[in-house]
């Protein structure tokens, strides 16, 4: 073999091996105290960039949406984002995900404030009337995904899940004080705690116990109720959440919806009221915010001098997600209530602001789902299929089976071309005209990112071509 051809072959092999690093399961994600990985989210921060989910550690990806507007800023976030570590998910909600990048003082001698950027469903590209939450402005990555779907529901992350940058197809921790930049690729590794309780019970009275109950029947008191919840209020995103489902979790809140899921094109804050829910918040955070409404249950040590429960498991970090399957309640986070010695019942459907709606409730419990990998796989395929059908209706054509590619301007002489599908190398060639083949049947159907990178014999990048291909096998 000629020296240049041998060198190009070596470069091709090294490029192929290096590309696999991004899809090797991270030890820190697989075996960390936070639990084991259940799926990943991958977002390309550019207009038209893919929003994808992987249930096999990044080996294959299913596309569940696309980015409409890239985010290119970070901004001061909501107060409870201070309780999340930098480079992690600070809040998970059906109406948006918040990622913490660091802390900064907004002037000499000023207090440190959290800096965040957001991933946003399409309904919140424009802020609804009466919206009271975080407004991301240019720090928001706007997607075409509906609120309460895929990454904003059954594939949402937990608070505290780590966020990575994919650079040169290798995952790196999100740098502190990171500034979102167009064309960056983010990966959120979603882990499920190993010691998840089966339920958490709140005695809805001053001094009531908050008890975590575990699958083996054991239980422990984790805190107390300082102020019971009495009413229901108009909280953001509950329009798309569902009765008894979790709407939001972050370091300072659990929000529970009390209203039915509305159609995707419903205008929240419109002439017909569609919102309803109540909150559970830790004591210090409530004191800091001056929250006194009857729609909020307050829990925790009665100490306004320092945080205690804020940003800690199992209530305000890492344990409570958004999964909600109406036909599979055992796979859902759901909330029930009890009155005196009666039976547990599902949360009643209550719309709007009703200050005494829950005044007779004596106990509230959050039921945790049983981990069901079969259901998760089926749900991913459903989300991918639904999005594929949406694309087909726009006139996009689909391909199947073996799909062939080559550089549009293949270089003469010695070079190496590598075909990447969703960031993973699947084929290499060092022979002109560099024919590259991908067996699309090994990946989920749907939209895929195709990259064809050509290197010279010395390893210099000659070209990178980017395409999107829709498959339907």
| Chain segment 196-253, per-residue pLDDT in tens | 999 999 999 999 999 999 999 999 999 999 999 999 999 999 999 999 999 999 999 9
Average the pLDDT over 342-368 and give the result: 97
What is the CATH number that goes with domain 3-16+399-471? 2.60.40.10
Structure tokens at 53: 């989910």
Average pLDDT, the chain: 92
pLDDT > 60? residue 32: no
The pLDDT, as a whole number, for residue 411 is 92
* 16 pLDDT tier (thresholds 50, 70, 90): low
Over residues 424-441, mean pLDDT: 96
DSSP for 351-383 reads: -S-BTTTTTT--EEEEEPPPP-HHHHHHHHHHH
- Cα end-to-end distance, the chain, whole Å: 40
* 111-131 confidence digits (pLDDT tens): 678 999 999 999 999 999 999
Decide: 89 and 157 in contact? Cβ < 8 Å. Answer: yes
pTM of the model: 0.92
Going through 369-435 in order, the beta strands assigned E by DSSP cover 402-405, 415-421, 424-429
Whole-number pLDDT of residue 458:
87
Q: What is the pLDDT of residue 291?
A: 85
215: left (phi over 0), alpha (psi -120 to 50) or beta: alpha
**Contact call for residues 99 and 73 (beta carbons, < 8 A):** no
**Local confidence band at 188 (pLDDT 50, 70, 90 cut-offs):** very high
Structure tokens at 399: 């391909």
Q: What pLDDT band is residue 462 in, cutting at 50, 70 and 90?
A: very high
Pull the structure tokens for residue 430. Answer: 């060092």
Digit-coded pLDDT (tens) for 281-309: 999 999 999 888 999 999 999 999 999 99
Q: Is the per-residue pLDDT at 351 higher than 90? A: yes
| Total number of residues shown for the chain | 473
At 53-80, the pLDDT tens digits run: 999 999 999 999 999 999 999 999 999 9
Would you call 290 helix, strand, or coil by DSSP? Answer: coil
Spatial contact of 231 and 209, defined as CB atoms under 8 Å apart: no
What is the DSSP-derived secondary structure letter of residue 304? Answer: S
Distance CA 140, CA 75 (A): 10
Residue ranges of the domains in the chain?
Answer: 3-16+399-471, 35-194+373-393, 199-367
pLDDT for 28:
37
Asked if the model's pLDDT at residue 395 lies above 50, the reply is yes
């Amino acid at each position: 073999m000629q020296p240049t051809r041998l060198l190009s072959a070596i470069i091709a092999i090294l490029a192929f091996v290096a590309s696999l690093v991004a899809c090797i399961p991270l030890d820190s994600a697989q075996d960390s105290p936070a639990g084991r990985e259940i799926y990943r989210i991958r977002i390309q921060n550019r207009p038209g960039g893919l929003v994808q989910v992987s249930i096999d550690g990044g080996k294959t990806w299913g596309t569940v949406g696309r980015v409409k507007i890239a985010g290119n800023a970070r901004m001061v976030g909501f107060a409870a984002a201070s309780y999340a570590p930098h480079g992690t998910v600070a809040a998970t909600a059906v109406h948006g995900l918040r990622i913490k990048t660091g802390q900064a003082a907004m002037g000499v001698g000023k207090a440190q404030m959290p800096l965040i950027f957001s991933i946003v469903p399409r309904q919140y590209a424009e802020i609804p009337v009466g919206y009271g939450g975080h407004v991301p402005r240019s720090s928001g990555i706007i997607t075409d995904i509906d609120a309460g779907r895929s990454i904003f529901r059954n594939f949402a992350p937990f608070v505290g899940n780590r966020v990575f940058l994919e650079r040169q197809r290798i995952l790196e921790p999100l740098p502190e004080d990171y500034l979102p930049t167009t064309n960056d690729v983010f990966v959120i590794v979603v882990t499920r705690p190993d010691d998840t309780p089966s339920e958490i019970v709140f005695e809805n009275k001053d001094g009531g116990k908050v008890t975590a109950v575990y699958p083996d029947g054991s239980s422990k008191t984790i805190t107390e109720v300082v102020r019971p919840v009495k009413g229901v209020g108009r909280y953001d995103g509950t329009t798309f959440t569902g009765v008894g489902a979790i709407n939001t979790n972050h370091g300072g809140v659990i929000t529970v919806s009390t209203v039915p899921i509305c159609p995707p094109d419903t205008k929240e804050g419109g002439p017909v009221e569609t919102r309803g829910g109540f909150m559970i918040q830790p004591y210090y955070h409530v004191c800091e915010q001056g929250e006194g409404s009857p729609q909020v249950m307050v829990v925790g040590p009665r100490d306004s001098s320092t945080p205690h429960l804020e940003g800690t498991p199992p209530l305000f970090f890492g344990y409570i997600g958004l999964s909600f399957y109406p036909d599979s309640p055992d796979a859902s986070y759901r909330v029930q209530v009890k009155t005196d010695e009666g039976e547990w019942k599902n949360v009643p459907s209550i719309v709007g602001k009703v200050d005494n709606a829950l005044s007779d409730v004596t106990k509230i419990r959050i039921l945790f789902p049983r981990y069901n990998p079969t259901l998760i796989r089926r749900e991913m395929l459903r989300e991918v299929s639904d999005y594929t059908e949406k694309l087909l209706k726009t006139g996009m054509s689909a391909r199947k089976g073996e799909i062939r590619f080559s550089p549009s301007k293949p270089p003469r002489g010695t070079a190496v071309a590598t075909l990447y599908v969703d960031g993973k190398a699947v084929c290499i060639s060092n022979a002109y005209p560099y024919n590259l083949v991908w067996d699309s049947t090994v990946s989920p159907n749907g939209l895929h990112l195709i990259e064809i990178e050509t290197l010279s014999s010395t390893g210099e990048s000659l070209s990178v071509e980017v395409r999107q291909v829709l498959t339907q096998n």
